[in-house]
Structure 1
């Protein structure tokens, strides 16, 4: 199946043949559906804080942040091209729909209006001219830039990009002793532009917020790309005979996250930002979730040190098992009570000694995204999982009914602890479920092919983490999927 040239290409990408062969088997056999048991709801797998308790937790976090290394991790490689789909149709095919009309009628309300008007100048002001200067390299070239570099928000004298809004957020909740660490994952073609933007604004934000930033960037590793196959599951080859590899979705970012070193990591998508006037609740709840994370981690570490330090008695194991079930929402497999004391201790150690995450959940208002569920694991235990609709067999009436009962979804609002009780970094790759990827059908130069995505960063890639769900206010979730989303009051 593979030539010597193929093997050299695989090696040059930092991949290995065994992984490629596993990917081909996944194309042949597909990925199994997850067995969801029930939706996680308030009082049944999800914590409701309320503003008063959230504020107290936020203050508690302020009191301990000085002794923690904090990191804000922002997936920022997403291109903005999909934001402008309807505008491209208007420019290239003269298709004017309702969204295009709204865009043109309210053009002056966008933060980028002044930059655009300076470029258009005295040229004709028909819609095609405006769109050409907005979307193409004749002007702002927004159609080929990442979201993080677009002007999103207007202030009295300036505008801000999402990357800059994350700088501000970082100063407000990822600040330890005046040091703010931010990491952006970017695409190779845009890295220099991100660098240029950060270099041009960093000093002013440091002065305004009284902090020092440490900004780093990374790109998806070629080794995480997955092989493409023909519809008969044989390797797809380009016109020159080379194998085709494709980026494997946001699950590939697990490698980038695994390279980071921090006690508490805040993960949030690049486009989920708001102006300063609306940041207060976001900041409070970010700190509150981080405070919860630290307190749960302390309890977990206490049990693990107990396992190492003393000869455990039956009552100690019962206490640990109760903590797993009642606090971490991990239900033991059938037959747990019949195991020997040593086997029960080892089960508890395995479940406790894992990375920990707290996932902010917002009420489901119809936005796409993974939802909170209780799901069965391979070892027979049941735990909390962020589950995408594609992971559930919606043709199964019982599974579909459970899926439709979900009241919340995850807007990529994650707070993570990635070190063990001895202070060593976990290897995050050991805690993903490789059987939670996705196969999709695509095309390349007019030829059909099948592509494969790795387990998603916040679902399958973190399937074997300890997970807690916390309800957060809807105002903390304001993604920008289309350009007209910037006209919403939350972005004005």
Structure 2
């Protein structure tokens, strides 16, 4: 199947021909859909806490945090291109004409919202100042000039920026990027002993841009916050790239005959996460960041999740030490089993009650000795995102999972009905404990559901291809972690998926 030239290309990526053949077979065999048992809801997989309970967990975290090594992990490799999709469409479809402009605005709602909020965009002044005589231009020329200056390579080229370096919030005296805001936000909940550690996964081509921005903002920010920032960067490992196939399942090749390998989605970042050796890791997407005045409330919910993690982790570690060192009674094993079931959302094997004491102890040890994640879940109000579900696996066991909609076979009426009754979705707001009870880091690759891959149809140079994405970082890549879902307010979820999201209150300075 592969020529000598192919083999050399494969090996240069850090892959093996066996691994690539397995990718090909995976794409050919098609996607495995998740088997939903039921939606996770409050009282059935999702915890809800009152004000007193929230304060208790917040204080637990605040008391312990200075003794912990904490990192905030921010996936930030994406370019801003998708944010401006409808604006690129305007450039392609519209040509200066006042009469046509009115019609275009009526038939393209997103662009109408964009131009009506133009002056509220954080980069309005920056773009305007690049355009001679901007205010005196006819309105149709003004919009066209603004868009071209904002997006074209000869202008500011924002569409090719990494999203993290795009101007996000306008504080009148300064305009801050999402990257800048994440550093500032870390001081509210992810710093210890006046030090904040952040790790950004970025595209290698953007490295110098991020480092330049860090050098520019770090001295002032450290003075303002009395916090030292330790910021590190990493790239998606090329060995996680996956082969592209044509629709007839033959490898897609470039005109010079090379195989085409593509980045394999955010699941490829498991390597990067696995290399972060900390007691607690906060994970949050780069575009989900609010203006500073809203950070205090948001930060309390991050502390809530971390406090719940520390509480669950402490009990888990104590039970693991007991299981490792003692012969336990039936009563003690039942206590541990109840903790697993009611606190860690682990549904025990159907035959667990029939196991002898040794097998029960071994089974419970195995189920407890895993990475732990505590994930915020938001009430479903129509925003996009995966959701929390109870999922049945091929071995017959059921577990709590975050499932993307692409993993669900909505052609199956029973599965569609379960989705219809879902009450919450995943805002990608989680806190992870990745060390075991002896302080050793888990190898996170041991807890992946490799069947939870995504197969998508993409366009490559005008040709339709099949692409393989690795199990999502907080989906299949964390399938065998112990999981706790906690309801958090929808106000904690403020992603910027399109440029007009920057006009929402969470991104506007009052």
Q: What band does the TM-score fall into relative to the shorter chain?
A: over 0.9
Residue 54 (structure 1) shift: 1.8
Aligned partners of 2:244, 2:479: CA distance in 1, in Å?
25
Give the equivalent residue in structure 2 for 1:350: 366
CA shift in 2, pair 1:318/1:56, >3 Å = closer
Give the equivalent residue in structure 2 for 1:394: 410
Residue 336 (structure 1) shift: 1.9
Q: Is the 8 A contact 1:230 1:449 kept in 2?
A: yes
TM-score of the superposed pair, with normalisation by structure 1:
0.97
- After TM superposition, the structure 1 stretch with the greater mean CA deviation from structure 2, 325-334 or 204-213, is 325-334
Give the equivalent residue in structure 2 for 1:196: 212
Residue 233 (structure 1) shift: 1.6
Unaligned runs of 5+ residues in structure 1 are none
Give the equivalent residue in structure 2 for 1:178: 194
Aligned partners of 1:327, 1:308: CA distance in 2, in Å?
21
Give the equivalent residue in structure 1 for 2:92: 92
Pair 1:473-2:484 in alignment = no
Give the equivalent residue in structure 2 for 1:113: 124
Q: Is the 8 A contact 1:356 1:465 kept in 2?
A: yes
Q: Per the alignment, in what secondary structure is the counterpart of residue 116 of structure 1?
A: helix
The within-5 A match list for 1:354-393 is 354-393=370-409
Note the alpha carbon deviations across 1:66-90, whole angstroms, 9 max, x for none: 1000000001111111111111111
The within-5 A match list for 1:45-84 is 45-84=45-84
Q: Per the alignment, in what secondary structure is the counterpart of residue 83 of structure 1?
A: helix
Q: Per the alignment, in what secondary structure is the counterpart of residue 108 of structure 1?
A: helix
Pair 1:278-2:294 in alignment = yes
Q: Is the 8 A contact 1:225 1:247 kept in 2?
A: yes
Residue 448 (structure 1) shift: 2.1
The within-5 A match list for 1:1-16 is 1-16=1-16
Q: Per the alignment, in what secondary structure is the counterpart of residue 296 of structure 2?
A: helix
- After TM superposition, the structure 1 stretch with the greater mean CA deviation from structure 2, 332-341 or 210-219, is 332-341
Aligned partners of 2:83, 2:172: CA distance in 1, in Å?
25
Aligned partners of 1:160, 1:390: CA distance in 2, in Å?
34
Give the equivalent residue in structure 2 for 1:318: 334
Aligned partners of 1:318, 1:53: CA distance in 2, in Å?
26
Pair 1:165-2:176 in alignment = no
Q: Per the alignment, in what secondary structure is the counterpart of residue 434 of structure 1?
A: coil
Q: Indicate which of 144, 162, 182 corresponds to 1:128.
A: 144
Residue 491 (structure 1) shift: 1.1
Residue 55 (structure 1) shift: 2.8
Residue 232 (structure 1) shift: 2.0
Aligned partners of 1:390, 1:483: CA distance in 2, in Å?
24
Aligned partners of 1:363, 1:149: CA distance in 2, in Å?
30
Q: Is the 8 A contact 2:188 2:296 kept in 1?
A: no
Aligned partners of 1:314, 1:21: CA distance in 2, in Å?
49
Q: Is the 8 A contact 1:433 1:464 kept in 2?
A: yes
Give the equivalent residue in structure 2 for 1:101: 112
Unaligned runs of 5+ residues in structure 2 are 95-103
Q: Is the 8 A contact 1:330 1:381 kept in 2?
A: no
Note the alpha carbon deviations across 1:344-391, whole angstroms, 9 max, x for none: 222111111110000100011111111011112343322210011122
Pair 1:225-2:241 in alignment = yes
Q: Per the alignment, in what secondary structure is the counterpart of residue 170 of structure 1?
A: helix
Aligned partners of 1:41, 1:22: CA distance in 2, in Å?
37
Residue 418 (structure 1) shift: 0.4
The within-5 A match list for 1:204-353 is 204-353=220-369
Q: Is the 8 A contact 2:32 2:453 kept in 1?
A: no
Give the equivalent residue in structure 1 for 2:442: 426
Aligned partners of 1:477, 1:434: CA distance in 2, in Å?
29
TM-score of the superposed pair, with normalisation by structure 2:
0.94
Could you list the runs of 4 or more consecutive aligned residues of structure 1 that deviate by over 3 angstroms after TM superposition? none
Aligned partners of 1:121, 1:170: CA distance in 2, in Å?
40
Residue 122 (structure 1) shift: 2.7
Q: Per the alignment, in what secondary structure is the counterpart of residue 56 of structure 2?
A: helix
Q: Is the 8 A contact 2:371 2:432 kept in 1?
A: yes
Q: Is the 8 A contact 1:84 1:143 kept in 2?
A: yes
Q: Per the alignment, in what secondary structure is the counterpart of residue 130 of structure 2?
A: helix
Aligned partners of 2:184, 2:296: CA distance in 1, in Å?
12
Equivalenced residue count is 492
Aligned partners of 2:132, 2:149: CA distance in 1, in Å?
10
Aligned partners of 2:408, 2:228: CA distance in 1, in Å?
45
Residue 283 (structure 1) shift: 0.3
